[in-house]
Amino acid sequence: MYHQGVKRRIVTRPLSNQLGQFEDTSPLLERLFLARGITSSADLDRSLAKLPSPWLLSGMEILIGRLITAIKQQQHICIVADFDADGATSCAVAMQGLQLMGATQLSFVVPNRFEYGYGLTPEIVELVKQQQADVLITVDNGISSIEGVLFAKQAGIDVLITDHHLPGEQLPDADAIVNPNLPNDAFPSKAIAGVGVIFYVLMALRARLREQGWFAEQTLPEPNLALLLDFVALGTVADVVAMDRINRTLVFQGLMRIRAGKAHVGLLALIEAAGKQAQKLTTSDLGFSLGPRLNAAGRIDDMALGIRCLLMDDLQHAKSIALKLEELNNERRDIEGQMKFAALALLEDSHALENNHLSAGVCLYDADWHQGVIGILAARIKDRLHRPVIAFAPAGKDVIKGSARSIPGLHIRDALSDVASAHPKILSKFGGHAMAAGLSIALHDYPAFALAFNEVVEKRLVDVDLEQTIMVDGELSEQEMTIAVADELERAATWGQGFPEPVFAGTFEVVQVRIVGQRHLKWVLRKPGGQLLLDAIAFFVEAPEQWQGTRKITAAYKLDINEYRGNRAVQLLLQYFET
């Protein structure tokens, strides 16, 4: 028997044979850091002063020059955002940052995914034209918008692209492009999110305006861009980009501002709606509580609602929008549950849940699915099957949209590029990065696409271990299962994608197990031969009743602290368990 119905292999991360150069670091932390490629205390420095120069980004000089002209001549700047949490926070950062720089005519447009689709399309340019914009600047999109950029240029609108998605073979003919993933770009992080890119643009813009004496001339206070870091932290974590050193710094600094009570009013309203406390907010809260609530606007309704929440400066108005986002998120959960049930039924009917029938690359389509939720569905099925998954939903006019999620070892955008090269008439519109991508195809091409995708994935996964594994950091002794160690782990680093939070493993005697809520299991555990009784909890367990009467389990867990009525106690968060 095993948690979540999926048998997994627990694998201990190999111990590094490197010697670390750490100061005031416990042996446990040193082992964890070395296993994650961190070899010195300097690698853990999360101060803003250690961030690399914005001028390392190619295209920055040209882009900043055009922005300065727009600001000084009071031209209208329109921001075109993406409709996810990264796009929403990018838009908020751009709006507030440019306003602080002295821009007086600002507006934003965010595509409604159900009307316009992704990115700077000719239809979105029409909306920008209605704003009578002189300059448009994209945030978290634009690198694949060949037609949209051309259309804007023909309309006399200058186009500045800021993006982090991987470029295709052809770049749009924009006036300037800032994207760390451009060929030969010297910026050290290729994992920075869209919100991080626009934050870097603002750093460069402030520096150049300072040099030109703009702030003194206009009697403007020089902007403190740290004010925007709460948005940067949320967008970075919500976009599930790799937590390299630059992203760890941006997220840490943003979290520190939130915990210090310096978050934006709109973000505070989101925190309250999620039932969290700002002074205790964690990276996980950003990713699993705030991000989904903000994303719900773009998935179910219109992301302009989420952006308005972030930009709100009146707490009561912000709270009313946050409550609306909460309602949309609850609606999204209901829709997701129905879609997951239907997806599992499709897989059951095709015997795909049996290993010998499981495709290398899985495609799923249902005419009743909601295109705003297919990304989450793809992620859920990917986690269950440990295969790359694309979930499709109707998008009108014989078109279906797909959202793809991948597994380590397969770059999903590159896989789609292989399909497009082999079948250019089937797949012409796609974009994304290593772990997630989006695409559109004709409904009648779905069977052919599914076959082509499976063939490409089979070739790319030849050397990839497809057995589901959980990577752990060894065992903890009873002496290490303390509040002090749990606090130390939480403070030590900014954990996240590509820099995983420590997970430990062990075998335990079950002293007690009971169902709480509808699908959670509350345990009292003890190491074999040990004296310490340990509280543990596992959330959203399939068929939790089957675990009653269990005498012993092997589990992978995170060391956590349960706070209840002012009391703090060690708790194990079970990530996986089996008998």
3-state secondary structure 405-434: ECCCCCCHHHHHHHHHHHCCCCCCEEEECC
511: domain CATH number? 2.40.50.460
239 and 365 inside one domain: no
Question: What's the pLDDT score for residue 566?
Answer: 80
99 and 172 inside one domain: yes
380 and 520 inside one domain: no
161 and 248 inside one domain: yes
21 in any annotated domain: no
Tens digit of pLDDT for each residue in 337-379?
A: 999 999 999 888 876 666 556 789 999 999 999 999 999 999 9
Strands 534-538 and 469-472 turn out to be: unpaired
Which one-letter DSSP state was computed for residue 47? -
145 in any annotated domain: yes
24 in any annotated domain: no
38 in any annotated domain: no
Please say which residue of 460, 491, 517 terminates a domain. Answer: 460
105 in any annotated domain: yes
Q: State the residue range of the domain holding 506.
A: 3-14+469-578
Tens digit of pLDDT for each residue in 527-563?
A: 999 989 999 999 989 889 999 999 999 999 999 999 8
Q: How many helices (H) and strands (E) does the chain have?
A: 18, 17
366 and 510 inside one domain: no
281 and 142 inside one domain: yes
152 and 251 inside one domain: yes
Residue count of the chain, please give it: 579
413 and 502 inside one domain: no
Distance between CA 369 and CA 342 in Å, rounded? 9
31 in any annotated domain: no
Please say which residue of 441, 460, 479 terminates a domain. Answer: 460
Please say which residue of 431, 460, 489 terminates a domain. Answer: 460
Tens digit of pLDDT for each residue in 330-346?
A: 999 999 999 999 999 98
Query: End-to-end distance of the chain based on CA atoms, in angstroms?
Result: 6
Q: Hey, what amino acid is at 251?
A: V
Number of structural domains the chain divides into? 3
207: domain CATH number? 3.90.1640.30
Question: What's the pLDDT score for residue 2?
Answer: 41
357 and 410 inside one domain: yes
420 and 482 inside one domain: no
Query: Please, are residues 547 and 493 in contact by the beta-carbon 8 Å criterion?
Result: no
Tens digit of pLDDT for each residue in 155-188?
A: 999 999 999 998 988 999 999 999 999 999 999 9
394 and 492 inside one domain: no
In the structure, what pLDDT confidence band is assigned to residue 435 with cuts at 50, 70 and 90?
confident
290 in any annotated domain: yes
278 in any annotated domain: yes
361: domain CATH number? 3.10.310.30
433 and 478 inside one domain: no
